[in-house]
Structure 1
Amino acid sequence: MTAGAVDVLVIGGGQAGLAAGFYLHRIARDAARGRGGPAPSYAILDAHESPGGAWQYYWDTLELFSPAAYSSLPGYQMPPWTGAGNPSAAHVVAYLRTYEQRYGLPVHRPVTVHAVQDHPDGGYLTHTDRGTWESTVVINATGSWRRPFVPRMTGAQEFTGSQLHTTGYRGRAAFTGQRIVVVGGGNSGAQVAADLLPAAAQLTWVTRRPPRYLPDDVDGRALFALATSHVRAVRRGEPSPGGVGSLGDIVAVPPVREARDAGHLQAQPMFSTFTPTGIRWDDGRTVEVDVVLWCTGFRPALGHLRPLGLAMDDTTPATDRELPTRARGRGGLFFLGHGDWASPASATLVGVGAPARTTVAAAIEHLTRTSQVRAPSGRPG
């Protein structure tokens, strides 16, 4: 079954996919006004039931690292946040929903992409649970939310308590009175541990190395600027000012800062094994546990691209040196929103705009070179 044929197919309807959609929309708008070349046809496929990307699944007390004015996608500023601290995840979801509607972006959902393969006549075939799409360009903006990472630990199968990843955490209410271990020394680990403190009967925070807090005045704006300058310097062969990791691993948002300053966030070293009823360290110390919560990050969700046989740099697809969002050796395949391996800070709201602009420009250039401009497709059905 054929689902559609477009010039540019964006896979992923979260913040990165919407940023790409904005620039495609702007090119189409200009073409309609007689400016520029022909309007590219495009569609955005989103696996989620509703707008908001991964933000709609975060815990209820999560907040951004930066104020609303510095957390926006291109073209439309995030509305002011009137609550305490920085904007909540729910505020971001509302913003992304409005953003999608504001520009009339052709998002099709829910659509699950199974595989992308080379089209015999050039371009790509994208097979989904709702048919196959043909396109000259694919912009992969799938992020990593659907590939949570949990390390393998001795004894985990025999542990009789509960284990869940950050993806399954919605708030502290479900954990009242329980003995909890939070694993992870990054932002999620610190924020979840701080969030659980008022509810847990016993909270143990474990990290592979001592927690490294960024200076308290550092927020998302500074992190984006630092990440960008670091990656650009490395690509140019120039001395780097140091990446985000040179400052630390944890942004001290107010709840984390308060818990840390009160002495309640005291990290323990990583345990070595599970016991049937808890965890054990190499020195023989044990703790009885009801729940282990893994705040151990994600891996890029790229399994649908395996049929393409992409060149790899270690565990991620190799990208072009001049344009880091473009797959090496493939003019019509791009990655957007995956972070530093594909473009600096592109996994953030404030950071995805610039790579989205250059990626869409490169996609249009590729369309022009291949002279394969399709008639506009229909709106989402």
Structure 2
Amino acid sequence: MSRHHDVVVIGGGQAGLAAGYHLRRLGLDFVILDARTTPGGAWQHTWGSLRLFSPAAYSSLPGRLMPPQEGQTYPDGAHVIEYLTEYEQRYGLPIVRPVAVDAVRRDGDRLRVESGSGEWRARAVISATGTWWRPFMPAVPGRAEFEGTQLHTVEYRRPADLAGQRVIVVGGGNSGAQIAADLAHETDLTWVTQRPPRFLADDIDGRALFDHATARRRALDEGRTDTGGVASLGDIVAVPPVREARDAGLLKAQPMFARMTATGVEWADGTTAEADTIVWCTGFRPALSHLAPLGLRGPRGHIPTAGTRALGEPRLHLLGYGDWTGPASATLIGVGRPARDAARAIAELLAEA
């Protein structure tokens, strides 16, 4: 049995909810398919001490401010899950879960969305599956020889799990810094980064980064000089736990090692370090395998887009995968604007049809 809608949104995390908000405002008939069994998207699977980079009010989806978390300037993951749960209920978003989408195919004037739970046919599709489900680990020589434990960011939970161990954390971004700070007191920690870590000034958080990204986008749209992306300001937001570990001298990064051995790692100069566990905080790739039948894949695994619209399939929009699908679109506060643009573009497409 196949169900028909104007729009199918694939993914019920923050990007899918933002899309749903704007589709509802435009009066379109849509459904959101979510592979998770409960609300919250990837936030359900993060480590315990994770903190947002921005105060609650600056970590909000369209239409509804995130309430502050008592005793916390920067909310934790559990607070985000509560907010997303309340958000989808508040707006009565039509979410079907759990539905894991296997493929999207062209089917005449429709796109056919296939899953183990059935099929949906839509005049347009918004893919909002994110990146959390495709962790990236670099091909370091000797990685298969290492006899200890290797974890990615997605598998790390709490310092108690690694207490007393020799741990190497790899990665100089926010995740690497937060997890290194988390482990600094309970493990024999070595923090390794590709380049020297660049901490943002203590008074700069996600709110300032979003303002900077927005100003840059406006400048580019108006043909003015590129002011540089948020990366020009630094890589790591100094949220309180990171700031405390840094100021205590516990976050002194080592350069990237050259190879791995059975018992640890080795640098190019022959220096070695033993390790029981290596935590790879090395990022993600977009989770787009369900779109493979459309034949749209471009360089670096990205699908070429104009804004959120796929260049090779105008009925498909991609939302929340990174700056290539809208400035700051992988953040709570940033996804609202590209979600609005995608919904408007789809409404215009359907009106023309």
TM-score, with structure 1 as normaliser: 0.90
Deviations 1:173-220 (Å, cap 9, x if unpaired)? 1111111000000000000000011211x1000001000111111111
Matches within 5 A, 1:55-66: 55-66=43-54
**2:19 pairs with 1:20:** yes
Alignment pair present for 1:109 and 2:97? yes
Q: Which residue of 2 aligns with 1:328?
A: 311
Tell me the residue number matched to 1:281.
267
- Unaligned 5+ segments in structure 2 are none
Q: Does 1:52 align with 2:24?
A: no
- 1:314 and 1:279 map into 2 onto residues whose CA distance is 28
Structure 1 residue 69: Cα displacement: 1.3
Q: Percent identity?
A: 58
| Structure 1 residue 53 displacement after superposition | 0.5
CA deviations on 1:311-331 (whole Å, 9 max, x unpaired) are 6255311112xxx11111432
Show the counterpart of 2:320: 337
Write the distance in 1 (CA, Å) between the matches of 2:17 and 2:89. Answer: 10
Distance 1:261 1:214 in 2: 14
Contact 1:63 1:85 in 2 (8 A): no
Over residues 285-340 of structure 1, what are the superposed CA-to-partner deviations in whole Å (9 max), with x where a residue is unaligned?
111100000000000011111111116255311112xxx11111432111111121
Displaced runs of 4+ in structure 1, greater than 3 A? 231-237
- Give the secondary-structure state (helix, strand or coil) at the position aligned to 1:212: coil
Letter in 2 for 1:191: Q
Counterpart residue identity of residue 207, structure 2: R
Question: Which letter does structure 2 place at the counterpart of 1:222?
Answer: A
The two structures, once aligned, show a CA RMSD in angstroms of 1.3
Structure 1 pair 145–271 and aligned structure 2 pair: CA distance change class (3 A): same
| Distance of 1:285 and 1:256 partners within structure 2 | 27
Task: Find the counterpart in structure 1 of residue 62 from structure 2.
Answer: 74
Task: Report the Cα offset of residue 155 of structure 1.
Answer: 1.3
Is residue 355 from structure 1 mapped to residue 338 from structure 2 by the alignment?
yes
Could you tell me how far 1:157 is from its partner in structure 2?
1.2
SS, match of residue 264 in structure 1 = coil
Number of corresponding residues: 353
Q: What are the equivalent positions in structure 2 for 1:156-195 lying under 5 Å apart?
A: 156-195=143-182
Following TM superposition, by how much is the alpha carbon of 1:83 offset from its aligned partner in structure 2, in angstroms? 2.3
SS at match of 1:99: helix
Counterpart-to-counterpart distance in 2, 1:70 and 1:84: 14
SS in 1 for 2:313: coil
Identify which of 331, 346, 357 aligns with 2:329. Answer: 346
What is the TM-score of this pair, normalised by structure 2?
Answer: 0.97
Give the conservation status (yes or no) of the 8 Å contact 1:15–1:349. yes
Q: Is the 8 A contact 2:56 2:73 kept in 1?
A: no
Deviations 1:202-257 (A, max 9, x none): 10000010001111111111111212232343455431111111001101101111
Question: Shift of the alpha carbon at 1:14?
Answer: 0.3
**Which amino acid in the other structure matches residue 5 of structure 1?**
H
Unaligned runs of 5+ in 1: 29-39, 371-381
Work out the CA distance in 2 between the residues paired with 1:127 and 1:57.
Answer: 25
- Whether 1:290 aligns to 2:276 is yes
The Cα of 1:366 is off from its aligned counterpart by 0.8
Q: Is the 8 A contact 2:19 2:343 kept in 1?
A: yes
Aligned to 1:312: 298
Q: Partner of 2:26: helix, strand, or coil?
A: helix
Answer yes or no: is the 8 Å Cα contact 1:116–1:125 preserved in 2: yes
